[in-house]
Chain A
Amino acid sequence: MGMEHGFSTPRTDTFPAGLRVLVVDDDPTWLKILEKMLKKCCYEVTTCGLAREALRLLRDRKDGFDIVISDVNMPDMDGFRLLEHVGLEMDLPVIMMSVDGETSRVMKGVQHGACDYLLKPIRMKELKNIWQHVLRKRMHDVRDIECFEDRSGTDRSHDGPYGVDQSFLKKRKDVDNEKESSDPSSSKKARVVWAVELHQKFVKAVNQLGIDSDKIGPKKILDLMDVPWLTRENVASHLQKYRLYLSRLREEGKLESSKGGGMLNQDLLSPKESSGSFSLQNSSFGQQNDITSKYVYQGTPVLPVQTVTSDPPENNPETEHIIPFSIENCASHTSKNSQLSLNHTYGSMDMSKHPSFDSPASGQYPWNRDVPDHLTFEPEFKLQPKMESCTFNQPTVPVLQQHISSDSPEQHISSGPSISKSNNIGLIDIKPLNVKECDNDTRKLSLIESPLGSFSVSNTDVYGSVFDLKNNNFSQGVDGFKEQPLFERSLQSIPIHSESHHLLDAQVLEPCFDATMGIMKKQISCQNSIIDQTNVTGSASDLRNQVLGSESAASGLLSEDLMFRWLQYGDVTSKDFGMDYIGYTGCNFSDYGSETLLPPYVSKLDPEYLLDWA
Chain B
Amino acid sequence: MERNQLHRQVAQMRQSFFDQGFLDEQFIQLEELQDDTNPNFVEEVATLFYRDSGRLLANLEQAMERSSLDFVRLDNIMQQFKGSCSSIGAKRVRNECNQFKEYCRAGNSDGCMRTFQQLKREYATLKRKLESYFQLVRQVGPREMATRPR
Closest residue to A123 on the B side, CB-wise?
A: B29
Determine the residue in chain A with the shortest Cβ distance to B26. A121
Q: Is A11 an interface residue (CB 8 A)?
A: no
Q: Is the interface of B mostly helix, strand, loop or mixed?
A: helix
10 closest A-B pairs (Cβ-Cβ)? A29-B87, A99-B83, A121-B26, A29-B48, A120-B86, A121-B86, A36-B33, A29-B49, A30-B87, A99-B86
B84 close to A124 (CB less than 8 A) = no
Q: Which of B32, B38, B48 contacts A28 (CB 8 A)?
A: B48
B70 contact set on A, CB distance < 8 A? none
Name the distance in Å between B77's Cβ and chain A's nearest Cβ: 11
B45 within 8 A of A: yes
Q: Are A29 and B33 touching (Cβ within 8 A)?
A: no
Known A-B contacts A27-B80, A28-B52, A121-B26; the reply to A33 vs B45 at CB < 8 A is yes
> If the complex has contacts A36-B33, A121-B89, A124-B29, are A29 and B79 also in contact, measured as CB distance less than 8 A?
no
B29–A30 touching, CB < 8 Å: no
Chain B residues with Cβ below 8 Å from A36 are 33, 38, 41
Quick one: CB contact mask for A90-123 with B, threshold 8 Å, 1 for yes? Answer: 0000000011100000000000000000001101
A40's nearest neighbour on chain B, judged by CB, is B33
Chain B residues lying within 8 Å of A29, measured Cβ to Cβ, are: 45, 48-49, 52, 84, 87-88
Partner of A73, one of B30, B80, B86: B80
The distance in angstroms between the C-alpha atoms of A32 and B45, with both chains bound, is 7
Q: Which residue of chain B has the shortest Cβ distance to A124 in the bound complex? A: B29
Number of B residues near A (Cβ < 8 Å) is 24
Q: Are A27 and B79 in contact (CB under 8 A)?
A: no
Q: How far is the CA of A26 from the CA of B83 in the complex (A)?
A: 10
With contacts A27-B84, A120-B87, A121-B87 taken as known, whether A33 is within 8 angstroms of B79 at the C-beta atoms is no
The 0/1 profile, CB within 8 Å of B marked 1, for residues 62-73 of chain A is 000000000101
**Which of chain B's residues 86-132 have a Cβ closer than 8 Å to chain A?**
86-89
Please report which residues of chain B, range 32-51, place their CB below 8 angstroms from some CB of chain A when the two chains form the complex: 32-33, 38, 41, 44-45, 48-49, 51
Q: Which residues of B contact A33 (CB under 8 A)?
A: 30, 33, 45, 87
Closest to A73 in B: B79
- Summed over the interface, the residue pairs from A and B with CB atoms below 8 Å come to a total of 54
CB-defined contacts of B33 to chain A, threshold 8 Å = 33, 36-37, 40
> CA separation between A71 and B30, bound complex, in Å?
19
19 A-B residue pairs with Cβ-Cβ distance under 8 Å, sorted by A, are A26-B80, A27-B87, A29-B48, A30-B83, A30-B87, A32-B48, A33-B30, A33-B33, A36-B38, A37-B33, A40-B33, A73-B76, A99-B82, A100-B79, A120-B83, A120-B86, A120-B87, A121-B26, A121-B87
Cβ–Cβ < 8 Å partners of B83 in chain A: 27, 30, 71, 73, 98-99, 120
Contact, CB under 8 Å: B80 / A121 = no
In this complex, the interface size class of chain A, counting residues with CB under 8 Å from chain B, is 10 to 19
Most buried by A among B41, B80, B83, B88: B83
Q: B51 to chain A: which residues have CB within 8 Å?
A: 28
CA distance in complex: A123, B28 (Å): 11
With A and B bound together, what is the CA distance between A455 and B49 in angstroms? 41
Docked complex Cα distance between A36 and B41 (Å): 9
Residue with the highest number of chain A CB atoms closer than 10 Å, among B41, B80, B89: B80
Shortest Cβ distance from A37 into B: residue: B33
CB closest residue in chain A, given B47 = A29
Interface residues of A in 1-42 (CB under 8 A from B): 26-30, 32-33, 36-37, 40
Bound CA–CA A573/B69 (angstroms): 34
Residue from B41, B48, B82 having most chain A Cβ neighbours under 10 A = B48
Q: A100 — which chain B residues lie within 8 A by C-beta?
A: 79
Q: Which residues of A contact B89 (CB under 8 A)?
A: 121
Q: How far is the CA of A123 from the CA of B86 in the complex (A)?
A: 12
A120 proximity list for chain B (CB < 8 A): 83, 86-87
How many Å lie between the Cα of A73 and that of B78 in the bound state? 12
Report the bound CA distance from A98 to B41 in whole Å. Answer: 23
Could you tell me which residues of chain B, from 46 to 83, have a CB within 8 Å of some CB in chain A? 48-49, 51-52, 76, 79-80, 82-83
* Residue in A closest to B34 when the chains form the complex, CB atoms: A36
A-chain residues with CB within 8 Å of residue B45 when the two chains form the complex: 29, 32-33
Q: How far is the CB of B89 from chain A (nearest CB, A)?
A: 7
Q: Which of A40, A71, A99 has the most CB of B within 10 A?
A: A99
| CB proximity of A121 to chain B, nearest CB, Å | 4
CB proximity of B67 to chain A, nearest CB, Å = 22
Residue in A closest to B101 when the chains form the complex, CB atoms: A100
**Cα A81 to Cα B51 with chains together (Å):** 28
Q: Look across to chain A and name the residue whose beta carbon is closest to the beta carbon of B35.
A: A40
A30 CA to B88 CA, complexed, in Å: 9
In the assembly, what is the distance between CA of A599 and CA of B39, in Å?
Answer: 43
Cα(A99)–Cα(B84), bound, Å: 9
Instruction: List the B residue with the shortest CB-CB distance to A99.
Output: B83
B30 to chain A minimum Cβ distance, whole angstroms, is: 7
Nearest-neighbour CB distance to chain B for A28, whole angstroms, equals 5
Taking CB atoms and an 8 Å cut-off, the chain A residues in 335-367 that contact chain B are none
Hey, which chain A residues are within 8 Å of B87, CB to CB? 27, 29-30, 33, 120-121
Give the residue among A29, A33, A73, A120 with the most B Cβ atoms within 10 A.
Answer: A29
Return chain B residues, CB-CB under 8 Å to A73.
Answer: 76, 79-80, 83
Distance in angstroms from B34 CB to nearest chain A CB is 9
With a CB–CB cut-off of 8 A, which chain B residues contact A123? 29
Q: Are B84 and A32 in contact (CB under 8 A)?
A: no
Q: A37-B33, A71-B83 are in contact. List 4 more A-B contacts (CB 8 A).
A: A28-B48, A29-B84, A30-B87, A120-B86
